[in-house]
Amino acid sequence: MILTIITWIAFLTFAIQLGFWIFIFSKIGFLSPIQPILTHFKEVSVIICVKNEAENISRLIQLILDQNYPEFELIIIDDHSQDQTWEIISNYANKDSKIRVFKNPKAGKKPGIIYGVSQATHSWLLFTDGDCTPSSKLWIQSMIEHTSESKIIVLGYAPYFNTNSWLNKMIRFECVFNTIQSFSSVLIGIPYMGVGRNLMYHKSISDPLKMRLELAFGDDDLLVNRQATSENTTIATHVNSFVYTHAKKTWSSYFNQKRRHFSSSLYYNLKSKILISSFFMSLFVFYFTLTILFINGYYGLTFSLYFINIIISWTLYSKCCNKWNEKDLIPLYPILELQYVLFLLVQIPFLFIPKKTW
C-alpha to C-alpha distance for 94 and 100, rounded to whole angstroms: 9
Q: What is the mean pLDDT of residues 182-189?
A: 97
Residue 147 three-state SS:
coil
Model confidence over 198-207: pLDDT tens digits?
999 999 998 6
C-alpha to C-alpha distance for 228 and 232, rounded to whole angstroms: 6
pLDDT beyond 70 at 70 = yes
Q: Does CATH place domain 44-166+189-257 in 3.40.1390.20?
A: no
From first CA to last CA, the distance across the chain in angstroms is 50
Q: What is the mean pLDDT of residues 174-186?
A: 97
Q: What's at 1, amino acid-wise?
A: M
C-alpha to C-alpha distance for 187 and 112, rounded to whole angstroms: 31
Give residue limits of the domains in the chain.
2-29+270-349, 44-166+189-257
Model confidence over 133-179: pLDDT tens digits?
999 999 999 999 999 999 999 999 999 999 989 999 999 999 999 99
pLDDT beyond 70 at 36 = no
